[in-house]
Amino acid sequence: MGHWHQDWKTDIALRAGGAVSCGISYLAIWALVGLRLGDGQLPDGVLPFVLAAAGFLCVSVGSALLALGHHIFDEVEISQRWQSASIVDDHAALTDTVVRFDAQGEGHVPYFKINQGNVREVDSLRCA
């Protein structure tokens, strides 16, 4: 059996919610246009900004829900480049390292750094 968000009822409800959100956006923009004064200027205050923001947000969310429906919950594969590195793996790699001494008696501890090509490489830190 599928998840609740893969049901056709959920799809219809999400698309209906998107249509309602677009309707609210229409009303907010209509009210914003109705606020104009005789000389074409908007009144001072926060109300025009609130109506414009509500219109923009409602039409953005509404159009996404109306177009996608239940597909808004679809999982997508993220490329390896954009996946976050596992902190546990990095910590395990660093805790397994020990200080290595070279011929001059200086100690070096390996550590990770990111170069300009976004590639993780191991470098060493000199210990006195």
Whole-number pLDDT of residue 100: 57
User: 8 and 40: one domain?
Assistant: yes
The rounded distance, in Å, linking the Cα atoms of 83 and 89 is 14
Convert the pLDDT of each residue in 101-112 to its tens digit: 556 656 655 555
Could you list the residue range(s) of the whole structural domain that residue 105 is in?
Answer: 84-127
Greatest CA separation for the chain: 87
Whole-number pLDDT of residue 22: 96
User: 57 and 98: one domain?
Assistant: no
Convert the pLDDT of each residue in 24-83 to its tens digit: 999 999 999 888 767 777 788 899 999 999 999 999 999 999 999 988 888 888 887 777
Residue 78 in any domain: the answer is no
Whole-number pLDDT of residue 122: 57
Count of domains observed in the chain: 2
Whole-number pLDDT of residue 53: 96
User: 59 and 17: one domain?
Assistant: yes
Angle of CA points 65, 69, 71, to nearest 5°: 115
User: 67 and 99: one domain?
Assistant: no
Per DSSP (E only), the strands in the chain are: 100-101, 107-114, 120-127
Whole-number pLDDT of residue 1: 46
pTM: 0.57
